[in-house]
Amino acid sequence: MTGIDDFMRRQSQMIDRVGWSVTLVHPSGDDDTGSPYAYTVGLTAHGYPELLIAGLDPAISQQLLNDLAARVYDRAERFSHGQRIGDLIASYDAAIIDGEPTEQLYPGAAIARYGQEQVRVQQIVWPDPDGHFPWDDGYAYPSEVQPVIDRP
């Protein structure tokens, strides 16, 4: 069994058990540029968008995605483009953005499993310490820290 076959098998087991899986992506290559990101795989099979978050520690990303995926999968909660969520990150609102996968934020395992035409994506975007988002004037971080798939 190849590495990708083993990965897909383990991912399928997780999806069967929980309803989704979280895939973590770390920057790679000679220049090590780009931002780490994570996304769900499995929500597409139930008619929901896959969730994606960028620029955070992988353990935090996994925790946030599991929280929101449980709301979607277990409670059929829906998020809309531009919606603010106040109970995900302590003391801050997060924003939900609908968009298309990009070269920087590509949910490859979900697309491999379900096909490009089937996979919809919603990104969870987090603010800087002053509550500014990447599209706001005065955002404290360079754009490559938290790339976004769109703006509200």
pTM: 0.93
- The full length of the chain comes to 152
Confidence of residue 147 (pLDDT cuts 50, 70, 90): very high
Tokens of 53: 């978050």
Mean pLDDT within 112-126: 97
Contacts of 147 by beta carbon, 8 Å cutoff, 6+ apart: 35, 37, 54, 55, 102, 104, 105
Burial class (CB in 10 A: 0-12, 13-18, 19+), 33: exposed
Q: How far apart are the first and last CA of the chain?
A: 43
Whether 28 has a pLDDT exceeding 80, the answer reads: no
Mean pLDDT within 35-39: 96
Measured from the Cβ of residue 73, the count of other Cβ atoms closer than 10 Å reads 17
Domain ranges of the chain: 3-25+34-125
- In terms of pLDDT, which residue wins out, 1 or 81? 81
